[in-house]
Structure 1
């Protein structure tokens, strides 16, 4: 594939957060994908970059989710998904439901009576940008809403502060793997697939995409941000090598591959080489793989020889 920008990684979690921290870009992205009259946005969550330390294991990691509030109060969750995960769509729905519940809890704190909570709630929608395909057709972009089964009428309701009825729920998906420059219909939407897929633009980019390209080119990044990016790139390269090794010999070479992957990708991960260090490093790498969307929870639990519920405990205590 010919890259639009050499070695750019728009789908890297750190990079995506950097892009969406620009409120003009985020506003245009939501405007294009969900067809909403967005005037401005506020990023509620998703711009922070954390330095997690796992004892001797150090790397820069970020939470992938971006939560944006539109000028009318509507909230939009943006999720980046690199590797295919069987339950990803359900997980995205869970994020939406959790955010609605969180908003309701905030109103409870303000003293709103339970039977009046529904009056205070505002729309919460989701957009997923996925590297892999999740739907069998060849449509690059899907936007789902609630519809009546027989008449196909959309389910819309009145929300506080809105003059017209709004969709109760919207879930949009951009599938980069389906990109086909010969089947473009709505370029305002598809241009974001070209952007995140690092594909050459099929039309002259507008100013907003030029801003986004400048970010992924890292022209104006600080030295600290450059360091984070370099650290993250080396870490993900170690992941790729690690996964490739596992695929060659899933049974006999798993522990050896994990040890080698940690030694190459994480400077101090397995210095002592003792059994405790190996097991700890193995657990930490699998947790990181799951958080980066490179490994499903089911596969991670299998490789750790534990249940998915036990793995959930690991993930929750590691936040």
Structure 2
């Protein structure tokens, strides 16, 4: 039996993750842990609303999985939950960052800021992705990327308006849940979020903020509407994973059939060339001479 922490819910489900990040205390700690920033508080700019899904009648409810949080110093953080494997997901995450930077500059343009001075108004936009599937070919469950010098790995940091210390121009952090192991040696402040969203038992005594996050995903504390949406999405998730299991089984059966067919063709050719006898072929394949002769 799979060792899971919560049997009643899936933290990686979009509306569940959305509910978690609607809590600003939890989001502040999450960003603090993953980006190592001195976050005092956050404001959720996008990600608290619930959307109807217009293009698929089978799914009456869905949430926009992206969360946009603004830190007290103005830094913006995009949080993305990704369940299914998508080849271009990393590029899409980069596009989210670029689009947000562009939107921020458009707001300054509306205020009449001269194009020449727009760079002075630039604020950092970072991204954190929680992915169920692995995207990097190693055993590390946590990856953190920024702009660095090719020779000595010095980080490229600049001064941003309203922020005392210099900051990275770009930060992208990835948590890959499938790579999680209980014996990981990575920073537990970060690993605990893989345990949380991966629905794994906590390997360390959870702090109050993690207990608070766990209480948020308890359906017993939800409204009637939230429970209805959760039930709809859980049925969809169950159907999705059942479909994946079916496809996997079909592929395995097709592979086995292909291997067996190839083996049969090889043995038949050996008999036709006189390399082995029909009796030897039948013994190899485990069939009668009468049945084997149908393939000749």
The answer to whether the Cα contact below 8 Å between 1:184 and 1:190 also exists between their aligned partners in 2 is: no
**1:189 aligned counterpart, secondary structure:** helix
Coordinate RMSD, CA, aligned: 1.6
| Aligned 1:111-260 pairs, distance under 5 A | 111-245=112-246
Change (3 A) 1:37 1:245: same
Q: Match for residue 64 of structure 1?
A: 65
Change (3 A) 1:202 1:159: same
Larger Rg: 2
Cα drift, residue 176 of structure 1: 0.6
User: Over residues 218-239 of structure 1, what are the superposed CA-to-partner deviations in whole Å (9 max), with x where a residue is unaligned?
Assistant: 2311011111101111122233
48-57 vs 97-106, which deviates more?
48-57
237-246 vs 109-118, which deviates more?
237-246
**2:201 aligned counterpart, secondary structure:** coil
Change (3 A) 1:108 1:138: same
Cα drift, residue 172 of structure 1: 0.3
Change (3 A) 1:219 1:203: same
Q: Match for residue 108 of structure 1?
A: 109
The answer to whether the Cα contact below 8 Å between 2:68 and 2:78 also exists between their aligned partners in 1 is: yes
**2:81 aligned counterpart, secondary structure:** strand
Q: Match for residue 73 of structure 1?
A: 74
TM-score (ref. length: structure 2): 0.81
The answer to whether the Cα contact below 8 Å between 1:59 and 1:235 also exists between their aligned partners in 2 is: no
What count of residue pairs does the alignment treat as equivalent?
250
**1:137 aligned counterpart, secondary structure:** coil
CA distance in 2: counterparts of 1:78 and 1:55, whole angstroms: 25
Q: Match for residue 4 of structure 1?
A: 5
The answer to whether the Cα contact below 8 Å between 2:45 and 2:70 also exists between their aligned partners in 1 is: yes
TM-score (ref. length: structure 1): 0.75
Pairing 1:18–2:16 present: no
Gaps in structure 2 of 5+ consecutive residues: 252-296
Gaps in structure 1 of 5+ consecutive residues: 251-319
User: Over residues 235-276 of structure 1, what are the superposed CA-to-partner deviations in whole Å (9 max), with x where a residue is unaligned?
Assistant: 2223333444555669xxxxxxxxxxxxxxxxxxxxxxxxxx
**2:18 aligned counterpart, secondary structure:** helix
CA distance in 2: counterparts of 1:52 and 1:85, whole angstroms: 20
User: Over residues 104-131 of structure 1, what are the superposed CA-to-partner deviations in whole Å (9 max), with x where a residue is unaligned?
Assistant: 1111111111111111011000000010
